[in-house]
Amino acid sequence: MNREEFDHAVRAAGAILGENELLVIGSQALHASVPGAVPPEAARSIEADIAALDDPDEQKADLIDGTIGEVSMFHRTFGYYAQGITRSTAILPRGWQDRLIRYETPNTNGVVAWCLEIHDLWISKAIASRHKDIEFCAALIAKDLVNTDTLVCRLDDVDGIEAARRAHVVGLIEGFSRSG
């Protein structure tokens, strides 16, 4: 998903929900931290993970999914979509809310996307550790878009993950740093 497509997904989600502020948790949050084109490992994703700031019963996430989500008319028309999610979708370091990056362009039509800060995003993706997440994390380190010392500190601020998963993420940080 390129920046223009991301802007469109944000604009559409805001219009559907009737809200001027949204939360972006997935890889497309990178658009707020990286000027210009995002790495191909992020651009190949065709979905933007978007949440309402206030969605206690998850109905807003369902509304996004049903209207502009996967296999919707929006998806079939444009080739990309918004995945309706909730704040609890990702495992994140303490304090992530204070580090959100404001993203707004003329193409978002007044809708602000509050996007995960790049190190918080990296940690979330490394914890998830799907194949596409690992490629994403490797690319951010290889392109010097994240600081490995900051990643280690952010990992220390993650509560509730088992020791083996924590060790796996430390291994990713160390391994990608050596190969970069």
Dump pLDDT digits (tens) for 8-32.
999 999 999 999 999 999 999 999 9
C-beta of residue 47 within 8 angstroms of C-beta of residue 82: yes
Per-residue pLDDT for 3 more than 60? yes
pTM of the model: 0.94
pLDDT value of position 172: 95
- In angstroms, the CA 157 to CA 149 distance is 13
Q: Kindly give the interhelix angle for 163-179 and 148-156, rounded to the nearest 10 degrees.
A: 180
Confidence of residue 89 (pLDDT cuts 50, 70, 90): confident
Answer yes or no: is pLDDT of 173 > 90. Answer: yes
The pLDDT tens digits of the residues spanning 112-129 come to 999 999 999 999 999 999
CA–CA dist 107, 56 (Å, integer): 29
- Is 129 in a helix, a strand, or coil? coil
